[in-house]
Amino acid sequence: MKNFNHKIVWITGASSGIGEALTLAFAQEGAKLVISARRIEELERVKNKSKLPDDRILVLPLDVTDFEQAQPAVDKIIQKFGRIDLMVHNAGVSQRSYINETDFTVYKRLMDVNFFSTVALTKAVLPHMMAQKEGHFIVMSSVAGKIGTIMRSGYNASKHALHGFYDSLRAEGYQYGIGVTTVCPGYIRTNISLNALNEGGGKFGKMDQNQANGIPPETCAQTILKAVKKDKKEIYIGGLKEVAAIYLKRFLPNVLFDQVRKNIPE
């Protein structure tokens, strides 16, 4: 995909963080946008910030865990724009709790938001992309999709699951001109730790220092757009520590496992 001019891009989790940054980046590239999240007032704020006229942007409020709304949401987009060129699965929630203290409902919530919602939306979008013989999925995984760390067991599991599903979709979709870029961010300067689920399902409410010192979401967004233009299959975005950990797991897994075990969160 050489450019995004006039492409129809649907972004979930568009009301803040990386999703907001992607919205603004795609708008600058000439794309037509569909932005989804639960908070309509924040979506309207992002829309105004994009400076796109109504005929180039659709505010589509959506709780991604309401799986029955996936098809009606797609129908609204097709009705307005006639097609969907890129689907950005960015909605997600993190976790900060130990396994032995975490209620089972927290794990279900993590999988519903981070994994099953992407499957539901993909299943609704896929027939249109297959019919038009073109399309691209941008899937927001994480370094946690490669490495299991302390206090993030359910988050890690949900992100690992994305790799299995979308690696399969990449292979199956090739004959239809459908691509997949899986994005593995490390520490990005967002509120993900503040909104992370604690052991009972409430908000963790604390900013991780690594997160506060992370890469700006705008930088992350630009890196993603460049990767999609080059049809990159999987990319890692972060500081030396996070990216090095991925390669350590590949080549020196025992060293990585020892480091993860010793890295006790404060």
Q: Catalytic residue numbers?
A: 155
**How far is residue 152's CA from residue 61's CA, in Å, rounded to a whole number?**
28
The string over 87-124, giving b where at least 16 C-beta atoms fall within 10 Å of a residue's C-beta and e elsewhere, is: bbbbbbbbbbbeeeebeeebbebbbbbbbbbbbbbbeb
**How far is residue 98's CA from residue 197's CA, in Å, rounded to a whole number?**
11
**How far is residue 98's CA from residue 193's CA, in Å, rounded to a whole number?**
15
**How far is residue 21's CA from residue 18's CA, in Å, rounded to a whole number?**
5
Please state the separation of Cα 242 from the chain's center in Å. 17
**How far is residue 248's CA from residue 238's CA, in Å, rounded to a whole number?**
15
**How far is residue 197's CA from residue 106's CA, in Å, rounded to a whole number?**
7
User: What string of DSSP letters covers 135-166?
Assistant: EEEEEE--GGGT---TT-HHHHHHHHHHHHHH
Please state the separation of Cα 192 from the chain's center in Å. 12
What count of other Cβ atoms lies within 10 Å of the Cβ of residue 205? 11
Tokens of 224: 């993603």
Give the strand order in the sheet containing 86-89: 57-59, 32-36, 8-12, 86-89, 135-140, 178-185, 234-237
